[in-house]
């Protein structure tokens, strides 16, 4: 009897050990399956984020595209209607951008567009939106604009920021910008109406050489830089940089001091240099 009980106990222990082993194996399989599911979910999430970003943001500059801008306009317009405030739609076109592509190559043109986008973001508030429409055209949506004068002041400050020379691959590039302004709800309540008015205003005045925007839209304003760095009709001047421009024009530079020129440099001039006349673009836009 004792031998039988001992044999039964051994058999029961073997069965328990086998069941425990099988349970552990099943747990390992489930763990591997769970790991695969997590990896698949992670890939799906990343794919969704990429798809959402491609659908709502410009691939080159990272700015919101026209679809996301439209959505933000509707939200801002609803808020402005409730609070009885104004919005401003600024249509910006970089003059002579094709000349940059022709002279420096498309890679330099892409870099210039990225720099323009960075300056726009640095000059607007978190509640505003800077968007790339395609090519060299940008739109800035300004919220809580006090009056028409505030919209014009903002347009002028943005234009002045973009007029500061860019340094791309050792070459200084100075651009001018045409800006069209339309104010909600004065010049329309629909996005399409405001976009059309600002676009037409910008093109209508693109060839003019006035110094300030007008409320009907804006005019292309001349750069505040010396004329020997300004082109005639192209709206762009390109020349080799004799020194790194550094923080004075918002571009990266090594140990650069604003306005310093090497002795004997052909760029040395008695009147103030463009760098001495320019401020950091980040300090430009303060909405009234």
Q: What was the pLDDT predicted at 207?
A: 62
Establish if 266 belongs to a structural domain.
Answer: no
Q: Are residues 165 and 222 in the same domain?
A: yes
Res. 33: pLDDT tops 70: yes
Q: Are residues 88 and 229 in the same domain?
A: yes
Q: Are residues 13 and 152 in the same domain?
A: no
Establish if 262 belongs to a structural domain.
Answer: no
Query: What band does 141 get if pLDDT is binned at 50, 70 and 90?
Result: very high
Q: Are residues 19 and 45 in the same domain?
A: yes
Establish if 226 belongs to a structural domain.
Answer: yes
Report DSSP letters for 100-156, one per residue: HHHHH-HHHHHHHHHHHHHHHHHHS-TTSEEEEEETTEEEEEEEEE-SHHHHHHHHH
Query: What band does 124 get if pLDDT is binned at 50, 70 and 90?
Result: very high
Is 136 among the catalytic positions?
A: yes
Res. 172: pLDDT tops 70: yes
Q: Are residues 199 and 116 in the same domain?
A: yes
Q: Which residue of the set 136, 228, 255, 279 is catalytic?
A: 136
- Name the range with the highest mean pLDDT among 1-15, 115-129, 223-237, 258-272: 115-129
Query: What band does 113 get if pLDDT is binned at 50, 70 and 90?
Result: very high
Distances (CA, A) of 29 to 22, 34, 38, 60: 11, 9, 14, 44
- In the chain, the number of structural domains is 2
Establish if 258 belongs to a structural domain.
Answer: no
Q: Are residues 84 and 152 in the same domain?
A: yes
Query: What band does 2 get if pLDDT is binned at 50, 70 and 90?
Result: confident
Q: Are residues 27 and 125 in the same domain?
A: no
Q: Domain containing 5: what range?
A: 1-49
Any idea which of 83-87, 118-122, 175-179, 220-224 has the lowest mean pLDDT? 220-224
| CATH code, 208 | 3.30.70.270
Any idea which of 23-37, 176-190, 193-207, 270-284 has the lowest mean pLDDT? 270-284
Question: Over the chain, what is the mean pLDDT?
Answer: 75
HSE-CB at 55 with a 13 A cutoff on CA atoms is 7
Q: Are residues 12 and 72 in the same domain?
A: no
Any idea which of 135-149, 173-187, 207-221, 253-267 has the lowest mean pLDDT? 253-267
**DSSP character at residue 171:** E
Mean pLDDT of 109-115: 95
Burial code (b: 16+ CB inside 10 Å, e: under 16) for 106-116 equals eebbebbbebb
Establish if 246 belongs to a structural domain.
Answer: no
Q: Are residues 87 and 1 in the same domain?
A: no
Establish if 9 belongs to a structural domain.
Answer: yes
Res. 278: pLDDT tops 90: no
Q: Are residues 97 and 14 in the same domain?
A: no
Distances (CA, A) of 54 to 28, 35, 43, 75, 111: 39, 28, 16, 21, 19
Q: Are residues 18 and 138 in the same domain?
A: no
Q: What was the pLDDT predicted at 214?
A: 39
Query: What band does 5 get if pLDDT is binned at 50, 70 and 90?
Result: confident
Q: Decide if 83 contacts 143 (C-beta within 8 A).
A: no
Establish if 176 belongs to a structural domain.
Answer: yes
Mean pLDDT of 219-229: 34
Res. 235: pLDDT tops 70: no
Q: Angle CA(166)–CA(157)–CA(285) in degrees, nearest 5? A: 100
Establish if 56 belongs to a structural domain.
Answer: no
Q: Are residues 141 and 26 in the same domain?
A: no
């Amino acid at each position: 009897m004792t031998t039988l009980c001992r044999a039964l106990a051994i058999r029961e222990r073997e069965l328990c050990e086998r069941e425990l082993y099988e349970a552990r194996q099943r747990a390992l399989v489930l763990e591997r399956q769970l790991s695969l599911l997590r990896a698949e979910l992670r890939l799906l999430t990343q794919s969704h984020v990429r798809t959402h970003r491609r659908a709502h943001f410009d691939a080159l500059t990272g700015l919101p595209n026209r679809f996301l801008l439209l959505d933000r306009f509707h939200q801002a317009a609803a808020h402005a209607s409730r609070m009885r405030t104004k919005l401003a739609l600024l249509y910006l076109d970089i003059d002579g951008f094709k000349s940059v592509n022709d002279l420096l190559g498309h890679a330099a043109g892409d870099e210039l567009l990225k720099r323009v986008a960075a300056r726009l973001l640095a000059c607007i508030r978190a509640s505003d939106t800077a968007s790339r429409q395609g090519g060299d055209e940008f739109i800035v949506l300004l919220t809580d604009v006090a009056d028409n004068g505030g919209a014009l002041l903002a347009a002028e400050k943005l234009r002045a920021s973009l007029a500061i020379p860019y340094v791309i691959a050792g070459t200084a590039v100075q651009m001018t910008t045409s800006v069209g302004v339309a104010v909600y709800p004065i010049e329309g309540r629909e996005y399409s109406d405001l976009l059309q008015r600002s676009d037409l205003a910008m093109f209508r005045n693109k060839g003019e050489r006035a110094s300030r925007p007008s409320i009907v839209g804006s005019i292309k304003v001349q750069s505040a830089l010396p004329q020997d760095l300004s082109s005639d009709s192209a709206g762009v001047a390109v020349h080799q940089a004799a020194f790194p421009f550094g923080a004075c024009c918002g571009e990266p530079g090594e140990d650069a001091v604003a306005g310093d020129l090497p002795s004997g440099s052909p760029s040395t001039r008695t009147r103030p240099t463009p760098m001495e006349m320019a401020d950091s673009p980040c300090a430009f836009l303060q909405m009234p």
